[in-house]
Chain A
Amino acid sequence: MRCFGKIAAACFLLLVVTNGSQAQTPGTPKASHYSLQNGLELVVIPDHRAPVVTHMVWYRVGGADETAGKSGIAHFLEHLMFKGTEKHPNGEFSNTVTHIGGQENAFTTSDYTAFYQRVPRDKLALMMELEADRMTNLKLTDAVVLSERDVVLEEQNMRVANNPNAKLAEQIDAALYLNSPYGRPVIGWRGEIEKLNREDAIAFYNRFYTPNNATVVVAGDVEPADVFALAQKYYGPVKPRVVIKPRVRPQEPEQIAARTVTLADPRVEQPSLRRAYLAPSSRLAKKGEDQALEVLAHVLGGDSTSMLYRDLVLQKNLAVSVGTYYNDSVLDMGSFSVYGAPRPGVTLPQMEAEIDAVLAKVVANGVEAKDLERSKARLIAESIYARDSQMTQARWYGTALSTGETVDDVENWASRVRAVTGTAVRDAARAWLDKRRSVTGYLIKTAKPPEEKRS
């Protein structure tokens, strides 16, 4: 997601809809890629600027791999992974990380679940030992599971239920994906989260948490060969416990009808709109098409020199903010979004008509050479800026390898951006800015509060 402008308002529409559309930009530092006998993959990215290391374990499982009716179990299990094993009981892992002055966290998306620690470099072996242990030895009690379920319900309250923008985002996704499990929120539908239990968590764990379904990414002040040796020592002995089948999920049928959803809430003081088009992920895109869409997103709405901002905010004074967002970091069909918030006195339809006019212009005529070059330069620069952050680098590789891409795809990203032509951008716009494959979401104010139904 690209939030720009100095004012947070420019970003608000997609607060929850975060994504690393730029999550594919690394530049020069070459990663080493290994596979262990048990199927575990390992990526090592040397970064010697500080004596620290980032250690991440990425499981190729996410919300889209859930059984229908059990939405939220992937994310819930992510929480429960901190609840201990026989060898390292509840709390020990976290306390160890604290004790050595490290940081840890985890995150879940539709396609992957990842756990990480940032620690002094000499603690890498210890982190590997602990992660390898919880890969297959998790122990859960009902008491721990039920209490943590309450925590997740509060997380859902905080991220979604308390926030009209986030509620709309869920509805847009549900309408955009007619058949793909991407229509389900990663955190789950509240009524289903409330029923998840220990058996669900363990069943899910047993299906997906195994070395042959994981990628370990290590970035930091380390040498690849040393890390490989450590990985063999700690992860090597973990036995694969299940055969992982290809991730074949229900795909989108041909979409033939533009959809709209409207969320009305008494708390909406700034109306807004977001349109999401189905668009190919990097895995599904034709060669170069994903980079063309990335450039298109930047030219249209990447910053305050973009076409939409110039037209709607600067020239016609219709909007206070506009932007775009291309989500290609998924396994199945991704999305291309355009969003905006009208200035007072302008209606959503008025603003939408102007957005449509700008999009139509690009579809008809393509983009200007100057805009093309500026956006390409900016995207390529991001690959250099990215090298300034160990976490960002580790995330790029982890995301790519968990969504069907390769190390080469990551490392060739900048050169592929460089190769994008004006024709390719225009063709991408023609192919994917098709309203029949879109949902337009409106956030508006209601006069009286709706009944909050909470079970």
Chain B
Amino acid sequence: MRMIWLKLFAPRTAAKSSPRATPPQAASWRMTGLSVAAVVVAFLAQASAAQAVNIKSVKSPAGITFWMVQDASVPLVALQFSFEGGSAQDPDGKPGTANMAASLLDEGAGDLSSEAFHERLADKSIEMQFQVSHNYLRGTIRTLKENQDEAFHLLQLSLNAPRFDAPDVARIRGQLMSLLNRESTSPNYIARRTWWAAAYAGHPYANPTYGTLKSAPTITVDDLRAYVKAIFARDHLKIGIVGDIDPETAGKYVDEVFAKLPVEADLRSIPEAAPKGMGRRIVVPLDVPQAVVNFGGNGIPRHDPDFYAGYILNDILGGSSFSARLNREVRVKRGLAYGIYSSLVWLKGTALLFGTTATRADRTKETLDVTADVMKTLAADGPTQAELDESKSYLKGSYALGLDTSTKIAAQLVQIQLDNLGIDYIEKRGALIDAVTLDDTKRVAKRLLNGGMLTVVVGKPQGVASSQ
């Protein structure tokens, strides 16, 4: 309709923002696609942000550590927290359990029915969301300062006393199945599901976070309660708070919400796994004019000594800048696609380089060939000094731009803790990037790009067939 935000190119971060805070953009399409897959990182950090973001680590009276940024310029408070234990903790045969539990946390808690709970949120304009990825359950609230008491009280109820009443479970199950039904014919969803199922066959990461049409009806209230009991605990809890709030008040609220939770979570360990099927191609026929392509291979763990070299290499290969090699060859020179991107993804026990594009059926083969050539050349010769310099400059400079709302800063505080990067990470980050040499990127290019990729194509691509 009127305001199709026709983007020239989509932003690459997969950071989730409140649906209402930001005017919606058609680009969210891509993000939806990626956010289900994993924690896609492509974020964010920068030197000049350090001045603006003064992070404190605070211990609450009950001994819970949280990070915060006090900023009174807008009268609001944003909080994000994470528990370890996302969909990878789903019981065998019941994928979607974690996601369904998260979807029900604001559907009635304590003495409040679902309807009453939503009315209380709405009466005070409080935003509350829960989200599940492979490794984490994250929660976010945003509230006007004047309503913070109510916001933290409701969050406390949702985490300590979720109800899971039968009608609410039935309704949310219905909504999830509606979503799964709809996605069952979406080329993006099919591509993503096919890729993860093949790359991680036999591993929890093969299972879809949202579950399946088969698993959703089998998840019981007992399963949901068991998930909450096992996962909602203080030992792996990370918290970020941003806004017009002082450390003492924040500590009081943190205790109200989290202090009564068990000390230890009951987590099953996630086996180490490398993605399988390198060099393999899977074609899934679907009657759509444009073929959707997902490709991925070995990535680089967050604490690998070559992580920053890999981070830069990915930016040069498939980052969001116009001059990224894939964009240059596939979009700018040949007009084969609206966009082509790659990202580094790291999860517990595995790491990926993952990419996506969508291209016309009659030239899909050309797109795949060009993509493979770009990777081959980069693996053989590495980037140029000019590319390295430009990428460093971009990655350092753009960090602050990712920290432009309280909710995003709170999310970043949590991410830095999850990645165990230290409270001075934002200040250190520029130097970590600068330390990468051309030889580092050449080495990491061979490591990441020489092993081939698992490629999934959904559509009716001409001249492209499955291979082993």
Chain A residues close to B by CB (< 8 Å): 1-12, 15-20, 22-23, 48-52, 75, 78-79, 82, 91, 94-95, 98-111, 118, 120, 146-155, 157-159, 161-162, 169, 172-173, 182, 185-187, 266-270, 303-305, 310, 313-314, 317, 320-321, 327, 329-330, 334-335, 341, 343-344, 374, 377-378, 381-382, 384-392, 395, 449, 452, 454
* Interface stretch of the complex, out of B178-186, B262-270, B415-423, B439-447: B178-186
Residues of chain A within 8 A (CB-CB) of B450 are none
Shortest Cβ distance from A123 into B: residue: B397
Q: Tell me, rounded to whole Å, the shortest Cβ–Cβ distance linking A375 to chain B.
A: 9
Find out whether the CB atom of B185 lies under 8 angstroms from the CB atom of A269.
yes
Bound form: Cα–Cα A269–B19 in Å: 24
Residues of chain B within 8 A (CB-CB) of A267 are 185, 286-288
Find out whether the CB atom of B1 lies under 8 angstroms from the CB atom of A103.
no
* Interface stretch of the complex, out of B72-80, B246-254, B295-303, B306-314: B72-80
Find out whether the CB atom of A105 lies under 8 angstroms from the CB atom of B8.
yes
Shortest Cβ distance from B321 into A: residue: A98
Find out whether the CB atom of A151 lies under 8 angstroms from the CB atom of B323.
no
Shortest Cβ distance from A267 into B: residue: B185
Please report whether the interface of chain B is mostly helix, strand, loop or mixed according to DSSP: mixed
Bound form: Cα–Cα A95–B174 in Å: 48
Of residues 1 through 60 on chain B, the ones whose CB sits less than 8 Å from some CB of chain A are: 1-9, 11, 18-26, 28-29, 32, 46, 48-49, 51-53
Which of A82, A378, A389 lies in contact with B125, CB distance below 8 A?
Answer: A378
What 6 A-B pairs have minimum CB-CB distances, sorted nearest first? A101-B397, A150-B335, A381-B125, A157-B290, A9-B179, A267-B185
Find out whether the CB atom of B175 lies under 8 angstroms from the CB atom of A10.
yes
Which of A109, A159, A313, A330 lies in contact with B171, CB distance below 8 A?
Answer: A313
Given contacts A6-B106, A120-B397, A395-B23, contact A388 B406 (CB under 8 A): yes
Answer whether residue B284 sits at the interface, using C-beta atoms and an 8 A cutoff: no
Find out whether the CB atom of A108 lies under 8 angstroms from the CB atom of B6.
yes
Bound form: Cα–Cα A152–B287 in Å: 21
Find out whether the CB atom of A381 lies under 8 angstroms from the CB atom of B144.
yes
Please report whether the interface of chain A is mostly helix, strand, loop or mixed according to DSSP: mixed
Find out whether the CB atom of A385 lies under 8 angstroms from the CB atom of B142.
yes
Find out whether the CB atom of A388 lies under 8 angstroms from the CB atom of B337.
no
Find out whether the CB atom of B174 lies under 8 angstroms from the CB atom of A155.
no
Residues of chain A within 8 A (CB-CB) of B32 are 8
Find out whether the CB atom of B20 lies under 8 angstroms from the CB atom of A2.
yes
Bound form: Cα–Cα A31–B22 in Å: 20
Given contacts A378-B122, A385-B21, contact A321 B178 (CB under 8 A): yes
Find out whether the CB atom of A103 lies under 8 angstroms from the CB atom of B398.
yes
Find out whether the CB atom of B142 lies under 8 angstroms from the CB atom of A314.
no
Answer whether residue B304 sits at the interface, using C-beta atoms and an 8 A cutoff: no
Which of B1, B28, B114, B335 lies in contact with A17, CB distance below 8 A?
Answer: B1
Q: Tell me, rounded to whole Å, the shortest Cβ–Cβ distance linking A300 to chain B.
A: 14
Q: Given A105-B9, A154-B338, output 18 extra A-B contacts at Cβ < 8 Å.
A: A2-B20, A51-B400, A98-B323, A99-B394, A102-B397, A105-B7, A109-B4, A150-B335, A154-B359, A157-B290, A158-B358, A161-B288, A169-B1, A187-B4, A269-B182, A270-B181, A329-B3, A344-B174
Find out whether the CB atom of B21 lies under 8 angstroms from the CB atom of A392.
yes
Find out whether the CB atom of B287 lies under 8 angstroms from the CB atom of A266.
yes
Find out whether the CB atom of B400 lies under 8 angstroms from the CB atom of A320.
no
Shortest Cβ distance from B35 into A: residue: A8
Residues of chain B within 8 A (CB-CB) of A16 are 1, 4, 26
Find out whether the CB atom of B338 lies under 8 angstroms from the CB atom of A18.
no
Q: Tell me, rounded to whole Å, the shortest Cβ–Cβ distance linking A222 to chain B.
A: 15
Shortest Cβ distance from A445 into B: residue: B185
Residues of chain B within 8 A (CB-CB) of A334 are 2
Given contacts A78-B8, A120-B400, contact A269 B290 (CB under 8 A): no
Q: Tell me, rounded to whole Å, the shortest Cβ–Cβ distance linking A449 to chain B.
A: 5
Residues of chain B within 8 A (CB-CB) of A7 are 103, 172, 175-176, 178-179
Find out whether the CB atom of B394 lies under 8 angstroms from the CB atom of A98.
yes
Residues of chain A within 8 A (CB-CB) of B48 are 51-52, 120
Given contacts A15-B29, A95-B323, A157-B289, contact A82 B3 (CB under 8 A): no
Answer whether residue B427 sits at the interface, using C-beta atoms and an 8 A cutoff: no
Given contacts A9-B175, A98-B394, A320-B178, contact A390 B400 (CB under 8 A): no
Shortest Cβ distance from A342 into B: residue: B178
Given contacts A161-B289, A378-B125, A388-B21, contact A101 B181 (CB under 8 A): no
Find out whether the CB atom of B287 lies under 8 angstroms from the CB atom of A11.
no
Which of B288, B290, B322, B393 lies in contact with A91, CB distance below 8 A?
Answer: B322
Residues of chain B within 8 A (CB-CB) of A314 are 114-115, 171
The CB with the most chain A CB atoms within 10 A, among B7, B19, B23, B287, is that of B23
Residues of chain B within 8 A (CB-CB) of A266 are 287
* Interface stretch of the complex, out of B200-208, B222-230, B326-334, B342-350: B326-334
Find out whether the CB atom of A305 lies under 8 angstroms from the CB atom of B287.
no
Bound form: Cα–Cα A330–B49 in Å: 36
Q: Mark B349-380, 1 if CB is under 8 A from A, else 0.
A: 00000000011100000000000000000000
Q: Tell me, rounded to whole Å, the shortest Cβ–Cβ distance linking A96 to chain B.
A: 10
Residues of chain A within 8 A (CB-CB) of B23 are 18-20, 22-23, 392, 395
Shortest Cβ distance from B315 into A: residue: A98
Given contacts A105-B8, A106-B8, A384-B144, contact A6 B2 (CB under 8 A): no
Q: Tell me, rounded to whole Å, the shortest Cβ–Cβ distance linking B290 to chain A.
A: 4
Find out whether the CB atom of A9 lies under 8 angstroms from the CB atom of B178.
yes
Find out whether the CB atom of B358 lies under 8 angstroms from the CB atom of A269.
no
Answer whether residue B281 sits at the interface, using C-beta atoms and an 8 A cutoff: no
Find out whether the CB atom of B323 lies under 8 angstroms from the CB atom of A91.
yes
Q: Tell me, rounded to whole Å, the shortest Cβ–Cβ distance linking B110 to chain A.
A: 18
Given contacts A147-B335, A310-B115, contact A48 B73 (CB under 8 A): yes
Find out whether the CB atom of B73 lies under 8 angstroms from the CB atom of A151.
no
Q: Tell me, rounded to whole Å, the shortest Cβ–Cβ distance linking A38 to chain B.
A: 26
Find out whether the CB atom of B2 lies under 8 angstroms from the CB atom of A158.
no
Given contacts A7-B172, A23-B23, A153-B360, contact A99 B390 (CB under 8 A): yes
Shortest Cβ distance from A99 into B: residue: B393
Given contacts A20-B3, A158-B338, A320-B175, contact A374 B52 (CB under 8 A): no
Residues of chain B within 8 A (CB-CB) of A303 are 118, 122
The CB with the most chain A CB atoms within 10 A, among B2, B5, B11, B25, is that of B2
Which of A103, A107, A329 lies in contact with B6, CB distance below 8 A?
Answer: A107
Find out whether the CB atom of A384 lies under 8 angstroms from the CB atom of B76.
yes
Q: Tell me, rounded to whole Å, the shortest Cβ–Cβ distance linking A293 to chain B.
A: 15
Shortest Cβ distance from B145 into A: residue: A384
